[in-house]
Structure 1
Amino acid sequence: MLEVVRLFIHQHALLEQGAPVWVAVSGGVDSMVLLTVLHQLGHPVQAVHIDHGLRGADSAADRALVVAYCAELGIPLHVEEVDVGVEVERSNSSVQMAARSLRYRVFHRLVHQGPERLAMAHHADDAMETTLMNLMQGMGTRGWQGIPVRSGPFIRPLLTSTRADIIEAARILRVPWREDASNSDPAYLRARVRKELVPLMEDLRPGVRTVMYRNVELARELDLLAKQRINELVAHLRPDAEGVLRITFDTLRASLAPRVLLHTLLEGRGYHPDRIADMVRVMEQGKVGARFPGEGVEVLADREAFLIVPFQQALGEWTIHDPFRPPTGMPLDMRSVHASDIDANAGPNVVWLDIDRLVLPLVVRPWRAGDRLLPAGMTGSKLISDVLIDAKVPRHLKDRTLVLCDAERILWCCGIRASGMARASANTQRVLRVDRTID
């Protein structure tokens, strides 16, 4: 097994020869063998054991075994106790998810302190089970490879080794280990996949494990090829100043696999493959305005492109009783100036108002459906929605557009168009200059 793991580490560039590494050790056969193998390969290892305290005497026995074995090999050991119950209440998650979250919190802290890599003992059977679970849950093509060889600082040197390989290595290397009974608890989906689904598949198609191992490896290689192609296609893409990423329909069509490309760009954002398929249908049908909210971002169908827009805080509303003392945090600046200061070429982000024609209080708020403006130079009013369309304001910015009103009418579609009402002129006695301070 030592040579198999050494080659796997080299092929996937997981560690430089002799590089130090953390090893997550539970006391089970997988992690105890991983610790032993990396130690014998000459890597300066440091073990970390997380005591979840969930299994009473069994948890204590796991901890005692890890402590004794590390002492026997002269391996530094970091033991940390976590309170899963508190995390369950805080996060309103399952015991399994809470325990995982706490473990990874510790792992991230340790790799930040160094060494910068942490090895985990996931193996080929784990990857196969994860692939089956991902297929059932509809996680898309990335889910076919099961468990990644590397994710950030976390590496998995045993992913090419089966559980049978690991148990045999434990026997040959005389590695002690303990069995976790929860691994067979049918309350957990993974345990049912392992104990019920995989044996059934073996009955239906003997040798299916080998086929699945091969398919998982193939999926990893295909994923690498897909990443290379996707990187070529999106190399020129850069978010704009507001963090908005624009990907044209032409780019998606040129990829020949628009769903794969979108899935990659939106990975970790909570988009189910069915939603990605909906996006592709919207692209094919040319539907402008479709919205797909995710986790932290929203995808908007614009003209010949999708916009991936970061979620922003909802716009506020401000009431101004005294224009010379505007509230803090308001994205407009107001000050009194002379009529001689009026500059007709100041641009769309400035408006000049006749203070004596204002009906206080002033209000700054997001525009609403049905809002109307009487544009300067026109005799009739116009819907704000039409003003935004005429100005070709991108869809994601329409939602961020504010209007300035007094008690009777809209005075300014901020940064877009001013009303002719209460507009200052060269004859105005008291002029209020209003600047839009942020986009």
Structure 2
Amino acid sequence: MPRNPEGEGLRAAVCAAVRRHRMFSPGERVIVALSGGPDSVALLHALLASGEELGARLSACHLNHRLRGDEAGRDEAFVRALCAEWGVPLYAFSEDVRAAARSRGISEELAGREIRYRLFGELAEREGAKIATAHQLTDQVETVLFRLTRRAGLDGLCGIPPVRGPFIRPLLGCTRAEVEDYCREEGLPFVVDSTNGDETYARNRIRLQVLPDLRQLNPSLEKTVAATAGYLAQDRDFLNLRAAEAYADCKGPGGGVFPRLNAAAFAALHPALQGRVARLFLTDCALPATALAAEAVARLAAGEEGERELAAGRYLRRQEGLLVCRERTVPPPPAAPCELAVGKSASIFGKTLTLCVTTAENGAILEKVHKNHLINCMDYDKLKTTLVARGRREGDSISLSRRGVTKTLKKLFCELGIPPEERGRVPVVADGEGVVCIPGVDVAARVAVTGKTERIAVLYCGEDV
């Protein structure tokens, strides 16, 4: 391919970026994301022209979004013809982005971006290649300003990284004007997206309205913003390092499938570290590491009660000073109430309940029964009608004999730290007037054993075998 000396500036910048960020090694496969626009055409041309310096094995990929009718087909035809002329193998994809956006309730712009990265990322993994996208310095400025309007944190204001996973961006040090100059100097053909002038898109408004005004204040706007983003990236990298160390110190004991987070240790961290530690914790819990989710972690660590469902069937709660992640299982259908007859056993929720009756004179033998088998004792003569074992019902309450207070079972189970998805499977024993016993917890005050008790109802509870 002939080389134009006037184009050496952009080619040199591409080569320098590849080396500085170690984007790829000589002989490695690189697939250029080729839309047909000036940026991607310039990138492919510069990499081809730098074959001796960089030694990449080049090919290209293209996605037809099917958003612009005949124009989308024109772009694909142009890319196919260009690759054929330049001898570049092409991977072509076609997706109905508009339908995907509607089905997911997101913008077409976001749907297109997600589909591109998914398809190209899968291609990179399948082919063992890097994907070179044509983001340039002006895109970087637009991205930083766009994120600034959307409540971006430090990570967002660092802009587009030169390398992220298999995606590399060799043009990130060149402005759009420099890219257009390169295309003109080299006589490169390209197509123009007609939607680039549509100011209904936020990024277009930034490019067409905001950037010209800012350049009047600073003609070197792109270079200045890039330098600022670079400084911020250094600060981000340092904070990420400190956050990883802090997260290791905040991890609680145990945890099973998911880690646990020491709430007090987390709450003591500087706010600049809390959000990062929270996102590390959320990622380990396979939860979305969003800013809102990180705020939920901070509130729970600070003592806020309740739980936060952060993904379908998965939620966070504070328990015994630890933040824990639990998976919510689909509750089984409610078990039918089963009668508790004296001397017989009944099974419910994986537990076996046995009701026996003894006289007060023989009550002394109860002290010899292991506490794991002897759950609770009641005054048999105070029970109203036959006892039944069942699950909790809306409005159930109990006047606790040992604590002298009345509580709803919903509140009591919450205080006992029983996860919501398990509360419907806690056996409850009731008579004709209501709940008389929660095995392993307490009996109702109205049936408690006193000095006047003549017959004692003894409830044994064990695991089904």
How does the TM-score come out when normalised to structure 2?
A: 0.72
Asked if the contact 2:246–2:277 (Cα under 8 Å) also holds between the matched residues in 1, the reply is no
Deviation at 1:191, TM superposition (A): 0.2
Q: Does 1:26 align with 2:21?
A: no
Aligned positions of 1:20-59 closer than 5 A:
20-39=29-48, 40=51, 41-59=54-72
Equivalent in 350, 355, 361 of residue 333 of structure 1: 350
Aligned positions of 1:204-215 closer than 5 A:
204-215=217-228
Asked if the contact 2:389–2:429 (Cα under 8 Å) also holds between the matched residues in 1, the reply is yes
Equivalent in 438, 441, 444 of residue 417 of structure 1: 441
Q: Does 1:105 align with 2:118?
A: yes
Deviation at 1:412, TM superposition (A): 6.5
SS in 2 for 1:27: coil
CA distance in 2, matches of 1:30, 1:250: 49
Per-residue CA deviations over 1:331-359 (Å, capped at 9, x if unaligned) read: x31458898xx9735489x99999xx964
SS in 1 for 2:180: helix
Change (3 A) 1:236 1:435: farther
Asked if the contact 1:70–1:77 (Cα under 8 Å) also holds between the matched residues in 2, the reply is yes
Deviation at 1:428, TM superposition (A): 11
Change (3 A) 1:61 1:386: closer
* Residue equivalent to 1:154: 167
In terms of Rg, which structure is larger? Answer: 2
* Residue equivalent to 2:305: 289
Equivalent in 255, 258, 269 of residue 243 of structure 1: 258
Asked if the contact 2:23–2:168 (Cα under 8 Å) also holds between the matched residues in 1, the reply is yes
* Residue equivalent to 1:372: 398
Give the AA of the match of 1:6: C
Asked if the contact 1:363–1:405 (Cα under 8 Å) also holds between the matched residues in 2, the reply is yes
* Residue equivalent to 1:169: 182
Give the AA of the match of 1:435: E
Per-residue CA deviations over 1:199-256 (Å, capped at 9, x if unaligned) read: 1222244433332121122222222222112112213455822525414444454446
The CA RMSD over aligned residues, in Å, is 4.4
Deviation at 1:18, TM superposition (A): 2.5
Per-residue CA deviations over 1:65-93 (Å, capped at 9, x if unaligned) read: 21112122322211111112321332122
Per-residue CA deviations over 1:95-147 (Å, capped at 9, x if unaligned) read: 22232233233223323322253222222211211111111110211110122
Per-residue CA deviations over 1:340-390 (Å, capped at 9, x if unaligned) read: xx9735489x99999xx964462257xx78733646xx4856535775687
What percent identity do the matched residue pairs reach?
22
CA distance in 1, matches of 2:257, 2:415: 22
* Residue equivalent to 1:344: 370
SS in 2 for 1:79: strand
Asked if the contact 1:320–1:362 (Cα under 8 Å) also holds between the matched residues in 2, the reply is yes
How does the TM-score come out when normalised to structure 1?
A: 0.76
Count of matched residue positions in the alignment of Structure 1 and Structure 2:
412
Asked if the contact 1:337–1:433 (Cα under 8 Å) also holds between the matched residues in 2, the reply is yes
What runs of 5+ residues in structure 1 fail to find an aligned partner?
Answer: none
Give the AA of the match of 2:162: V
CA distance in 2, matches of 1:30, 1:127: 13
Asked if the contact 1:233–1:255 (Cα under 8 Å) also holds between the matched residues in 2, the reply is no
What runs of 5+ residues in structure 2 fail to find an aligned partner?
Answer: 1-9, 340-344, 357-367, 450-454
Asked if the contact 1:21–1:116 (Cα under 8 Å) also holds between the matched residues in 2, the reply is yes
CA distance in 1, matches of 2:162, 2:262: 29
Asked if the contact 1:32–1:175 (Cα under 8 Å) also holds between the matched residues in 2, the reply is yes
CA distance in 2, matches of 1:85, 1:142: 30
Asked if the contact 1:127–1:147 (Cα under 8 Å) also holds between the matched residues in 2, the reply is yes
Asked if the contact 2:377–2:458 (Cα under 8 Å) also holds between the matched residues in 1, the reply is no
Asked if the contact 2:373–2:462 (Cα under 8 Å) also holds between the matched residues in 1, the reply is no
Aligned positions of 1:98-137 closer than 5 A:
98-137=111-150
* Residue equivalent to 1:362: 390
Change (3 A) 1:154 1:313: farther
CA distance in 2, matches of 1:259, 1:226: 10
* Residue equivalent to 1:319: 335
